[in-house]
């Protein structure tokens, strides 16, 4: 399949072959390829290597993946089943430490199983399947509600900037930061959308530009270091980004470069909105300083996208996957439950 549309599932479950199906996002935008995953190592690898990425999509994939692994394990003795479930949950959770949706979805799956620990393994498996599919359906509904809430802060003809990919490819449908863009497109809001390329993995160029253009939206791609230039020209009326974790005080962790965009937006008085599912809010993490930041391989910066290395051999590379945007730079955090502003109270 080489054509992407809004009807394309980012993550799905194939009941006929009991498999997790994902779009391999490392192959976009040139090829739309689907991966059929059944083994825990393949699912772990898909999450770690960003074949499936975006906090909500990771959570959905992990939930479906955990069910696929457990239903294919052939374990019928209950104590062994629950022990293996916990081990597989912990294993999959180790693939990406920052995105809280991963642990949230996996913990939710295990909790469902433990509530039924007095039932036969077959009943537990049936419940796990329902739970995984519920997580996927809830994600789609959540994204649409985020978009509806975000639209109340926007007006027709606005220029909107987004960073990285918080679009449909990062969720089950609509996306978080892009949900208002899609809904606005349906309602003829005539948004002018700008997306950062998002170095070093280029999710903005490979994914956001790809999905928005494929859906027919008016989108322009720009390099990350061009943000100040376009804001100074007055072309940006609001910034909408996703996030991977929201701390209790409203600090957020999102793709590296987000804090730069927020800082420049503050300089030009442009509203900076974080669009996030409530499951991304982590009150147990007090501030952004307590969020673990994943470090990625240096080759992503020095050679990944080039025929020949573009930096000196053995150069030291600093390559964090995320940065922390302080709450003082955030105009509002938009969730499916409503719009939150400082001082943050997520109850």
pTM of this prediction? 0.83
Whether 233 and 254 map to the same domain: the answer is yes
What is the pLDDT at residue 225? Answer: 97
Sheet holding 192-196, edge to edge: 219-222, 192-196, 159-162, 238-241, 272-275, 332-335, 338-340
Q: What is the mean pLDDT of residues 35-42?
A: 97
In terms of residue numbers, what domain contains 245? 144-340
CA distance 329 to 327: 5
Quickly tell me which residue has 């150069």 as its tokens: 315
1 falls in which pLDDT band (50, 70, 90)?
A: very low
Span 214-256, pLDDT tens digits: 889 999 999 999 999 999 999 999 999 999 899 999 999 999 9
Query: Do residues 190 and 115 both lie within one domain?
Result: no
Look up the CATH number of the domain holding residue 233.
Answer: 3.40.50.10470
Phi, psi dihedrals of residue 301, rounded to the nearest 5°: -90, -40
List residues with catalytic annotation: 244
Q: Provide the CATH number for the domain around residue 132.
A: 1.20.120.420
Report how far Cα 23 is from the mean position of its chain's Cα atoms.
14
Once rounded to an integer, what is the mean pLDDT over residues 134-160? 97
CA atoms within 13 A on the CB side of 265: 26
Does residue 136 sit in the same domain as residue 149?
A: no
Residue at which a domain ends, from 140, 175, 208:
140
Q: At what angle do helices 55-71 and 121-151 cross, to 10 degrees?
A: 170
Answer yes or no: do 152 and 83 share one domain. no
Domain count within the chain = 2
Kindly state whether residues 76 and 172 are assigned to the same domain: no
Q: Which of 112, 140, 168 is the last residue of a domain?
A: 140
β pairing state of 332-335 and 272-275: parallel
Same domain, 133 and 150: no
């Amino acid at each position: 399949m080489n054509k992407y549309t809004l009807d394309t599932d980012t993550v799905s479950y194939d009941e006929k072959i009991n498999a997790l199906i994902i779009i391999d996002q490392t192959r976009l935008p040139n090829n739309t390829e689907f991966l059929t995953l059944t083994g825990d190592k393949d699912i772990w690898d898909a999450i770690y290597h960003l074949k499936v990425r975006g906090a909500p999509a990771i959570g959905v994939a992990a939930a479906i993946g955990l069910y696929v692994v457990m239903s294919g394990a052939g374990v019928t003795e209950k104590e062994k089943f629950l022990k293996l479930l916990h081990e597989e949950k912990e294993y999959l959770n180790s693939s990406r430490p920052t995105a809280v949706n991963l642990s949230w979805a996996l913990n939710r799956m295990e909790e469902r199983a433990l509530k039924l620990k007095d039932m036969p393994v077959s009943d537990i498996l049936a419940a796990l399947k329902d739970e995984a599919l519920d997580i996927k359906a809830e994600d789609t509904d959540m994204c649409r509600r985020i978009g509806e809430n975000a639209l109340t802060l926007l007006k027709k003809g606005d220029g909107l900037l987004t960073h990285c990919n918080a679009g449909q490819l990062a969720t089950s449908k609509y996306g978080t930061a892009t949900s208002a863009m899609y809904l606005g497109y349906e309602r003829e809001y005539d948004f002018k959308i700008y997306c950062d390329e998002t170095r070093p993995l280029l999710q903005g160029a490979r994914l956001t530009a790809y999905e928005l253009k494929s859906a027919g939206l008016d989108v322009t791609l720009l390099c990350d270091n061009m943000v100040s230039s376009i804001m100074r020209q007055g072309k940006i009326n609001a910034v909408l980004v996703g996030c991977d974790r929201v701390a209790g005080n409203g600090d957020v962790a999102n793709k590296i470069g987000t804090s730069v965009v927020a800082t420049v937006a503050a300089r030009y008085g442009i509203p900076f909105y974080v669009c996030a599912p409530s499951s991304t809010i982590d009150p147990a993490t007090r501030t952004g300083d307590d969020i673990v930041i994943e470090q990625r391989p240096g080759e992503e910066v020095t050679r990944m996208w080039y025929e020949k290395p573009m930096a000196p051999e053995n150069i030291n590379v600093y390559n964090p996957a995320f940065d922390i945007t302080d709450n003082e730079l955030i105009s509002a955090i938009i969730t499916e439950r409503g719009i939150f502003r400082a001082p943050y109270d997520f109850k």
